[in-house]
Amino acid sequence: MKLRISHQILQLDQDRRHNDLRQFACWVANQTKPNLAVHRDLVHMISEDVAKGRDAEKTCRLIHDSFSDVAIAAGAVGLRHAPKSASSFLACYACSNAAPGFAAQNAVDWAIRWHLAATESLDSTAFEELILDKLRSIG
């Protein structure tokens, strides 16, 4: 399933559908139900730029630079002690990647990790289907 998701993202990236990929990454991050307003806000800022036809590059760079230390801490410490919250934040942070294809792929990867932690399960098939359905609706 993850391979099909990656293939769809790659296809959109090759078709230069960068705004669609950026919006998709934000949608995926929102599926993790970010519990801190600041995490929701950073996704909203990017999504709003794209929706209004503005170039999100400046916003993404600002967010990426401002939250890089938090992302390092989330990866180094948070994933061990609070995997659900850390994975949610990292899905949100992924949206700020300068390359929309990588933003989308990384948001998916972290969202799947969030789903596994949130459901305390080893199966993310239904969640991955939801993601793939969303991608299909774009493409």
Averaged confidence pLDDT in the chain: 94
Chain centroid to Cα 43, Å, comes to: 9
Over range 111-117, report the average pLDDT: 97
What would the pLDDT profile of 2-37 be if each residue is shown by its tens digit? Answer: 899 999 999 999 999 999 999 999 999 999 999 889
Q: What is the pLDDT of residue 78?
A: 85
Q: Where are the domains of the chain?
A: 2-138
Whether the pLDDT of residue 128 is over 80: the answer is yes
- Interhelix angle 2-14/100-119, nearest 10 degrees: 160
Q: 21 with 8: CB under 8 angstroms?
A: no
What would the pLDDT profile of 47-98 be if each residue is shown by its tens digit? Answer: 999 999 888 889 999 999 999 999 999 998 988 899 999 999 999 999 999 9
Q: 100 with 13: CB under 8 angstroms?
A: yes
